[in-house]
């Protein structure tokens, strides 16, 4: 699907229904154009080469899925690969949404295979207030990136809630499901850090490097997005330490539980050991065993065995071994 927005001081903001109008709009110095390609067809993707004449390598990186953010400066335009985020099916998980941008002085092309809430929100903002595009294509890019970065914070809140829940589980009754959830959270925390760390550097370049298509006044706004990404990256780093601590606590709790079980089994083994000796002695069936003919031999033996058990349990209890 392709959507085209054009803005000029004379005509204001318009939605352009036909892609055939693009060459004429791009030649008009008074027009600013935003082209959004969402899950585009092959024919719609050809616009990148036939109309905009973007570099083949940039188009190749745009169409192919990329797991790492990047920024390439082609002089007349910038090519950016960045990632938004949306919550996963399970709380405490997230999925990265790849966003590709071609930024020129008078145009912005956004290319994405998945639905992007930040782009939808920016479109709605442009339709409500046409002056959004009047501030330049670089400022429009800022609007999209600012919205995309804001989408990370609800995911971080979910991470916090899951961490608190896992802490309670680990101290109460850790099980195999708890371990799986810890590993899932640790993996997603590392993925979040892998996405935000290089993305932070890209925003730092947009706010500091002298790109011809980025106005100095807009660079200050990119600095604000950079600050948000620094905070997100720091939180992602802290989640790594917290999940590692949770894993160590889980192992410790399981080890303590195992030690308790082993301690009880060892105590039972020690208690029944002398009983086994007694039954072994009287099970040898020698002919000259005085107790075999004694009338009270059986109850005396049972009483002795019970006494030994009681005495040993009392001793273990006094030593606080059980």
Write out pLDDT tens, residues 177-210: 778 888 888 887 787 888 888 888 888 888 888 8
Ordered by where they begin, the domains of the chain are 2-254 (3.30.460.20), 255-318 (1.20.58.340)
CA-wise closest residue to 159 among 241, 249, 82: 241
Q: How confident is the model at residue 46 (pLDDT cuts 50, 70, 90)?
A: confident
Write out pLDDT tens, residues 57-90: 888 888 887 777 888 888 888 999 888 877 766 6
Write out pLDDT tens, residues 272-314: 888 888 888 777 777 777 777 777 777 888 888 888 888 888 8
CA-wise closest residue to 205 among 228, 231, 232, 225: 225
How would you classify the pairing of strands 2-8 and 12-16?
antiparallel
Q: pTM score, two decimals?
A: 0.75
The single-letter DSSP state of residue 99 is E
Q: Give CA 132 to chain center in angstroms.
A: 32
């Amino acid at each position: 699907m392709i959507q085209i927005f054009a803005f000029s001081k004379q005509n204001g903001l318009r939605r352009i229904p036909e892609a055939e109008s693009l060459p004429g709009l791009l030649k008009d110095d008074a027009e600013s154009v935003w082209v959004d390609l969402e899950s585009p067809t092959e024919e719609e993707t050809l616009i990148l080469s036939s109309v905009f004449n973007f570099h083949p390598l940039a188009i190749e990186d745009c169409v192919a899925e990329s797991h790492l953010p990047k920024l390439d400066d082609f002089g007349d335009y910038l090519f950016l690969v960045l990632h938004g985020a949306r919550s996963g099916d399970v709380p405490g998980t997230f999925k990265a949404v790849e966003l590709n941008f071609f930024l020129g002085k008078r145009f912005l092309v956004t290319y994405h295979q998945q639905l992007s809430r930040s782009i939808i929100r920016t479109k709605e903002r442009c339709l409500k207030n046409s002056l959004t595009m009047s501030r330049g294509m670089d400022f429009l890019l800022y609007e999209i990136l600012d919205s995309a970065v804001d989408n990370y914070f609800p995911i971080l809140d979910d991470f916090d809630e899951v961490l608190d829940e896992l802490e309670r589980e680990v101290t109460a009754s850790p099980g195999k499901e708890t371990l799986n959830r810890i590993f899932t959270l640790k993996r997603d925390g590392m993925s979040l850090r892998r996405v935000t760390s290089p993305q932070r550097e890209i925003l730092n370049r947009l706010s500091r490097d002298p790109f011809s298509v980025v106005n100095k006044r807009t660079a200050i706004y990119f600095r604000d997005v950079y600050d948000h990404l620094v905070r997100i990256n720091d939180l992602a780093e802290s989640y790594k330490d917290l999940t590692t601590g949770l894993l160590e606590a889980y192992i410790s709790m399981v080890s303590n539980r195992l030690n308790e079980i082993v301690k009880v089994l060892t105590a039972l083994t020690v208690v029944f050991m002398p009983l086994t000796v007694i039954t072994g002695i009287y099970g040898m069936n020698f002919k000259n065993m005085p107790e075999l003919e004694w009338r009270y031999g059986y109850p005396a033996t049972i009483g002795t065995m019970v006494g030994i058990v009681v005495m040993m349990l009392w001793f273990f209890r006094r030593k606080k071994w059980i």
